[in-house]
């Protein structure tokens, strides 16, 4: 599913984010920037050890923050490590909005044209997928309708049911 905002496109796909060919892919990271399971594990396995080594040098970031490293052996040239909230820690919605916006800003700061996101926080961190779709899509649409050099933002959803949740929400957002 594709939606255009002037000359920019927001795209939804179902699949494995480590296969995406956008300039950057976003990792659902933790504040310590240790690549464990879920998206991070897939990135570590396919991207090779250079990504974790770069993360170790950076050391960590705050919940809602994002940092950038190279993409190692991935098709994407960069990985943006965004730290989403863990369900139950408080202020989850605001933190997820910030993680999304800080990733988009970091892509712009590095003059990237395209970026792919997973559904941040909805795996190990336990955040509900519907609320994630509402928050991440709203933040992205607001960002894409402002000044940005980004041309394409992709949400790469893992499995058909998560894809359907995002597709329904995007339809609702764009029919407003
Ligand atoms: P978090 O710790 O932020 O919850 P996870 O990596 O556990 O991060 O999960 C975030 C989301 O990414 C979940 O919806 C999970 O199903 C999904 N996911 C896991 N592996 C992949 C992958 N290879 N590509 C895209 N999405 C993935």
User: What's the 149 CA to ligand 1 centre distance in angstroms?
Assistant: 27
Would the pLDDT of 160 be above 80? yes
- From the DSSP assignment, how many helices (H) and strands (E) are in the chain? 5, 7
Say which residues have a Cβ less than 8 Å from residue 38's Cβ, sequence separation at least 6. 28, 123, 124
Q: Classify 82 as helix, strand or coil.
A: strand
User: Closest Cα to atom 17, ligand 1: which residue?
Assistant: 158
Neighbour count for residue 143 (Cβ, 10 Å): 22
Pocket test residue of 38, 83, 100 for ligand 1, highest count of atoms within 8 A of CB: 38
Query: What is the position in ligand 1's atom list of the atom closest to the CA of 156?
Result: 25
Distance CA 89, CA 5 (A): 34
User: What architecture does CATH give domain 2-174?
Assistant: 3-Layer(aba) Sandwich (3.40)
Region 28-42 average pLDDT: 98
pLDDT value for 31: 98
Tokens for 143? 């960002």
* Residue 92: band (very low, low, confident or very high) from pLDDT cuts 50, 70, 90: very high
Say if CB 162 and CB 120 are below 8 A apart.
no
Q: Tens digit of pLDDT for each residue in 136-159?
A: 999 999 999 999 999 999 999 999
User: What's the 30 CA to ligand 1 centre distance in angstroms?
Assistant: 12
Pocket test residue of 30, 158, 160, 165 for ligand 1, highest count of atoms within 8 A of CB: 158
Q: Tens digit of pLDDT for each residue in 2-22?
A: 999 888 999 999 999 999 999
Does the pTM exceed 0.85? yes
Q: Tens digit of pLDDT for each residue in 105-128?
A: 999 999 999 999 999 999 999 999
Distance CA 116, CA 167 (A): 16
| Beta strand extents in the chain (DSSP E only) | 2-5, 8-14, 24-29, 66-70, 78-83, 114-117, 152-157
Distance CA 38, CA 152 (A): 24
Query: What is the position in ligand 1's atom list of the atom closest to the CA of 126?
Result: 4
Q: Tens digit of pLDDT for each residue in 40-82?
A: 999 999 999 999 999 999 999 999 999 999 999 999 999 999 9
Q: Classify 148 as helix, strand or coil.
A: coil
Beta bridge partners of 115: 24, 153
Would the pLDDT of 91 be above 90? yes
User: What's the 84 CA to ligand 1 centre distance in angstroms?
Assistant: 11
Q: Ligand 1 site: residues with CB under 6 angstroms?
A: 16-18, 28, 38-40, 42, 84, 118-125, 156, 158, 162
Tokens for 146? 């402002």
pLDDT value for 176: 75
- Please state the domain extents for the chain: 2-174
């Amino acid at each position: 599913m594709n939606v255009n905002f002037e000359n920019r496109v927001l795209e939804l796909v179902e699949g494995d984010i480590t296969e995406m060919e956008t300039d950057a892919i976003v990792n659902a990271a933790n504040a310590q920037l240790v690549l464990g399971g879920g998206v991070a594990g897939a990135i570590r396995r396919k991207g090779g050890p250079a990504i974790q080594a770069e993360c170790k040098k950076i050391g960590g970031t705050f919940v809602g923050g994002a940092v950038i490293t190279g993409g190692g052996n991935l098709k994407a040239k960069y990985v943006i490590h965004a730290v989403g909230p863990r369900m139950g820690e408080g202020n989850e919605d605001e933190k997820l909005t910030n993680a999304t916006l800080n990733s988009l800003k970091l892509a712009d700061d590095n003059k990237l044209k395209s970026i792919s996101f997973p559904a941040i926080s909805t795996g190990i961190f336990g955040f509900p997928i519907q609320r994630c779709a509402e928050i991440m899509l709203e933040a992205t649409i607001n960002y894409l309708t402002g000044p940005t050099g980004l041309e394409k933002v992709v949400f790469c959803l893992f499995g058909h049911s998560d894809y359907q949740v995002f597709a329904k929400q995007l339809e609702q957002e764009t029919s407003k």
